Structures are given as structure tokens and as C-alpha cells.
Structure 1
Amino acid sequence: MRFLDDARRLDRRLTRRAASWDSPWARQVLPAVESAAQGTKLWWAAALTMATAGGRTQRKAAAAGVLSMLTAQVMSNAVCKQLYERRRPPEQMIPHDDVEDRPDSSSFPSGHTAAAVGFTAAVATTSPWWAAATAVPTAMVALERVHTGAHYPSDIAAGAAIGLAGALLVHRAPRLLLRSLL
């Protein structure tokens, strides 16, 4: 139990620190990141860009990214959020106005982070250059979710783990299906 208490205290301390980060860059860039990440618009746009600007490899990477993103969203939003109800960080912890725009759903895990990491990790197996390009917005989405008070850092970590699991599943599923059929 002591470990869990220590983890909760650390989670709260990191949330306060991230939410209190006040810089012109954060005030300008993070709201734009949040807007682009809503409804996974950012990842659909990246997939469309990859598929139209690239060749066969980029189309394959885009398809894997979208499939992994959708898998991660189902795992985080339709499964995990239903199994574990966690309140969002208290408004008193967030020293800016973004706290009013938080969702009402469970804080655990971060579906935005799951989708972002799932997309980027799946793209990485086929197109490392595009994965590097999408890694920056992926990290910014995770930071934005804590900065606005929508999530604790542990929600972000769980979302990232779910995103990685989604990418692994998408990467391994064709081989597993072939093995089961043969």
C-alpha cells in the first residue's frame, strides 16, 4: 500500500508541475495540439499525407498506423475506461482556465495518448522517417493532456502502453492468423 500512496503523491506532484508550466509557447502551441488531436484528426491527416505523398511503403505504414490507432482507442475507451473509473485531477491543481474544457469520462487511461502512440508505433515498423516525424506531435499530445488537467501522468503512461500494445497487435495479427489457419 505504501508504494501506491507514493505513486499517487508523485502523480499529483507531476500534474501540478506540468499544469503550472506557464510559457508563451505552451499558451500558443498546446491549445492547437489539443484541437488537432480531437477526434484523432491529426493522425488521420498524417495517414492521408503519408498515403498520398509516398509510395507503397508509406501507404502500408499509414494503414498500419490507422488500424493501430483504432485498436488502441477501442482498448482504452471501450474497455479500460469502463473497467476503471478515475476522476480527473481536481480543478484546484490546475492554475489556468483550460480546466473548464475537460471531459467527463474516466481519466484512466488517456485515449488521446493511446491513439497517438498506437499510430506512431505502428508507423515505425514500416517507415522510421514518418515515425520520427509523428513522434513530436505524439509527445506534445501527451504533455498537453497533463498540462490542461485532463489526465494524471500515470494515465498518460497507461495510454502509451495501450498504444504500444495496439501497434504490436496490428504488427503481429497477420502472422498469428496465418499460423492459426495453417
Structure 2
Amino acid sequence: MKLLAGLRDIDRLLTKQAASRIPPGVGKVLSAVEEAAESTKLWCGAAAAMACLGGWRGRRTAVTGMAALVVAQLVSNGLCKQVADRPRPPKEWFPHDEVDDRPDSFPSGHTAAAVAFTAAVAPAWPAVGAACSLPAGLVALERVQSGAHYPSDVAAGAVIGLASAWLTRSVPRLVLRHWP
């Protein structure tokens, strides 16, 4: 119990620091990236660009990235948010008006989608994975800075994203290997 209380205290401290120490100009950039990622627009755009410009490799990588994103969304938003009921960080911790537009629960679905897409495309096309990693990281940071999530919500979303990418890349190979 003391460990859990200590983790909760660290979570709150990090959230308050992110809310008060990120300069307003950086906050605007984070908000713009988050808006681009809203409803997975950013990742769908990246997949479309890969599919159109990358030939067979781009199409295969785009499908893998989108499949991982869908799995992450189903797990984070379809399952976890229905089971977990965690209150959001208090509005009074945040000196900006974005706190009114906050999701209801744990984990961060934005982070799960961003990490899933990025982690799924990176092994197949490292340059694109590297390019996607910056906006994915900014989305994760924005979710804390904006008051939408605690850092542990974002960390849980990242774990879901990594697991979704791993499953999406591994399951087809396992199925084909054991197919009669």
C-alpha cells in the first residue's frame, strides 16, 4: 500500500510540474500535434503517404501500422476505459483552458495509438518509424501537459501500444508457421 501511495504521489507531482513548467509556446505546439493526432488523423495520413509513395514496402508497412493502431484503440478505449474509472487530474492544476476538453478515463488512447503505429512501422521501415517517433512522443507529453492524463495513464497507453505492435507483427508469422 505504501508503494502504491508513493507512486500516486509521484504521478501527481509530475503532472503538476508538466502543467506549470512547459512554456506556453511549447504548449501550443503540443496542442497542434495532438489536434493532428485526434481521431488518428495523423497516423492515417502517414499510412496513406507510405501506401502511395512507398511501393509494396510502404503498403505493407502502412497496413501493419494501422492494424496495430486498431488493436491499441480496441484495447485502450474499448476495454480498459470501460473497466477502469480513474478521475482526471484536477482542473485547478492547469493554467490553461484545455482542461475542459478531457477524456473520462484511464489509459491514454492517444498515446496507445501513437506508440502502436510507430512501433509497428519502425522495424519494417526504420526511417519512417524515426519520423513518427517525434510526434508520438509529443502526443504523449501533451496528454499530461494538457491535463488529460496522469503520467501513469500515458505510460499504460504506451505499454498497450507496444504490446499491440508486437502482436500485430508476431501473430501473422506464428499463424503461418503453424498453418497446416
Name the TM-score, length of structure 1 as normaliser. 0.95
Amino acid at match of 1:133: A
Q: 4+ residue stretches of structure 1 with deviation over 2 A?
A: 178-182
Shift of 1:180: 4.3
Alignment match, 2:120 = 122
1:83-111 CA deviation, whole Å, 9 max, x = no partner? 211111111221221111112x21x1100
| Residue of structure 2 equivalent to 1:43 | 43
State the Cα distance separating 1:73 from its structure 2 match: 0.4
Residue 82 of structure 1 deviates from its aligned partner by 1.3
Q: State whether residues 116 and 160 of structure 2, in contact with CA within 8 Å, keep that contact through their aligned partners in structure 1.
A: yes
Paired AA for residue 119 in structure 1: F
SS, match of residue 21 in structure 2: coil
Aligned with residue 141 of structure 1, among 139, 145, 167? 139
Structure 2 vs 1, CA of residues 22 and 67 (structure 1 numbering), >3 Å: closer, same or farther? same
Residue deviations 1:144-179 (CA, integer Å, cap 9, x gap): 100000000000000000000000110011122224
1:6 matched to 2:3:
no
Identity of aligned residues (%): 54
Residue in 2 that maps onto 1:61: 61
Pairing of 1:90-105 with structure 2 (within 5 A): 90-103=90-103, 105=104
Shift of 1:114: 0.2
Whole-Å separation in 2 of the counterparts to 1:90 and 1:52: 44
Supply the distance in 2 between the matched residues of 1:178 and 1:54 (Cα, whole angstroms). 25
Deviation of 1:21 (Å): 2.5
Residue 159 (structure 1) aligns with: 157
* Aligned length, in residue pairs: 180
Q: Which moved more, 1:73-82 or 1:129-138?
A: 73-82
Per the TM alignment, residue 25 of structure 1 is displaced from its structure 2 partner at its CA by 2.9
Q: 1:27, 1:115 → 2: CA distance?
A: 21
Contact 2:65 2:116 in 1 (8 A): yes
In structure 2, the gaps of 5 or more residues are none
- Find the counterpart in structure 2 of residue 88 from structure 1: 88
Q: Residue 93 of structure 1 aligns to which amino acid in structure 2? A: W
AA paired with 2:48? Answer: L
Three-state SS of the structure 2 residue aligned to 1:181 is: coil
